[in-house]
Amino acid sequence: MPPRSTPTERQRRLGEELRRLRIAAGMTTEHAAGLLGVPRTNVPNMESGRSGISPERVRTLAANYGCADEALVESLAAMTGSREKSWWKAYRGQLRDGFLDIAELEWHAKRLRIATTVHMPGLLQTEEHGRAVFAAVIPPLPQAEIELRTAHRTDRQQILDRSEPQPPTLDAIIHEAALRMEFGGPSVAKGQLEHLLRMSERDAVTVRVIPFKAGGFPGAGQSVTYAEAAVPRLDTVQLDSTHGPEFIDTEAQLAKYRAQLDAAEAVALTPDASRTFIRTLADDL
């Protein structure tokens, strides 16, 4: 099978982790290829995510690399994928790869910590709100593209309703500015706030509000999603930008964004106070 031209973010991450283990072990690509009985060029392709690898081969490499962290090894083996068709693959060729990478990241996360200042978290948006957000893009999107992106965003939310695997825990920190943005007008904004209140009452969902009066806080200008994996080493940060999502996974950057989210949470209202705050805003519309 020829190498992939565009590996997914998850495939790229698996390859990068295997490369890190190999380098830490002081092993060459030639040696690693010999362990698997494959040509030397197969190893760089595996480590870039351009070629697939089986769970058994992941375990073989990890054992020879001297990795004693069983939880990490099994998590990497699980990242090799399955034969089941994931729902987001239906959008391949219709939406940019970054949209699919976000869906895949959320699907496999154990916990999601999200902080936003201007936009509602995508997983907590109503269809009408999402459509209004996409309609505000420059240059303007064709209506068919708006509907496609809205459908994909709505489909992402199925992770909160699934029974197997268990839904991820969702902790959302939302600035007052995002709550007051009337995308789609007052009626859509009111419906969005009412939906946010309903979602905040779920056991697995926590919503905290940062009011204007809280003042400044670290990372105030960013929208951040911190996806916790089965093992902390495989955590990922996803940042929004006008050019598409950015994914970060170095240890130093992960520590930075954990601290940033902790600081934002420290100045936010309690969940109960946040619900009261949101209810007041909704009633005023």
pLDDT tens figures, 211-262: 999 999 998 988 999 999 999 999 999 998 877 899 999 999 999 999 999 9
CA–CA distance, 186 with 183 (Å, rounded to integer): 8
Range of the domain at 35: 9-78
Question: Tokens standing for 167?
Answer: 């839904």
44 & 93 share domain = no
CA–CA distance, 262 with 218 (Å, rounded to integer): 9
Compute the average pLDDT of residues 119-124.
Answer: 97
What pLDDT score was predicted for residue 5?
74
37 & 133 share domain = no
- Picking from 39, 54, 83, 37, the residue whose alpha carbon sits closest to that of residue 18 is 54
What pLDDT score was predicted for residue 2?
65
Beta bridge partners of 239: 224, 246
34 & 135 share domain = no
What pLDDT score was predicted for residue 251?
95
Contact 110, 168 (CB under 8 A): yes
Percent of all residues in the chain with a pLDDT value above 70, rounded to a whole number:
98
On the question of pLDDT at 3 being above 90, the answer is no
70 & 100 share domain = no
- Picking from 210, 209, 187, the residue whose alpha carbon sits closest to that of residue 197 is 209
pLDDT tens figures, 131-141: 999 999 999 99
What pLDDT score was predicted for residue 134?
96
Q: Helix, strand or coil for residue 280?
A: helix
Instruction: Please classify residue 148 by burial: count the beta carbons closer than 10 Å to its beta carbon, then call 0-12 exposed, 13-18 middle and 19+ buried.
Output: middle
66 & 165 share domain = no
What pLDDT score was predicted for residue 243?
79
CA–CA distance, 267 with 7 (Å, rounded to integer): 39
Q: Which residue has the tokens 């939906």?
A: 195
pLDDT band at 83 (very low <50, low <70, confident <90, very high): low
What is the number of domains present in the chain? 2
pTM: 0.94
Out of 83-87, 108-112, 220-224, 261-265, pick the least confident.
83-87
What pLDDT score was predicted for residue 188?
98
Compute the average pLDDT of residues 153-177.
Answer: 96
Instruction: Please classify residue 68 by burial: count the beta carbons closer than 10 Å to its beta carbon, then call 0-12 exposed, 13-18 middle and 19+ buried.
Output: exposed
Q: Which residue has the tokens 């489909």?
A: 155
CA–CA distance, 127 with 110 (Å, rounded to integer): 25
194 & 279 share domain = yes
Q: Helix, strand or coil for residue 65?
A: coil
On the question of pLDDT at 31 being above 70, the answer is yes
74 & 93 share domain = no
Size (the chain), residues: 285
- Boundary (domain end) residue, out of 35, 59, 78: 78
Selected residue with higher pLDDT from 242 and 53: 53
What is the DSSP-derived secondary structure letter of residue 92? Answer: B
What pLDDT score was predicted for residue 10?
95
Percent of all residues in the chain with a pLDDT value above 90, rounded to a whole number:
91
Selected residue with higher pLDDT from 5 and 175: 175
18 & 98 share domain = no
Compute the average pLDDT of residues 44-49.
Answer: 95
- Picking from 191, 173, 206, 199, the residue whose alpha carbon sits closest to that of residue 129 is 191
CA 280 and chain centroid, separation: 30
130 & 200 share domain = yes
Classify residue 56: in a domain, yes or no: yes
29 & 106 share domain = no
What is the DSSP-derived secondary structure letter of residue 165? Answer: S
On the question of pLDDT at 155 being above 80, the answer is yes
pLDDT averaged over the chain? 95
- CATH number for the domain harbouring residue 122: 3.30.870
51 & 109 share domain = no
What pLDDT score was predicted for residue 84?
59
- Boundary (domain end) residue, out of 78, 107, 139: 78
Compute the average pLDDT of residues 164-181.
Answer: 96
74 & 178 share domain = no
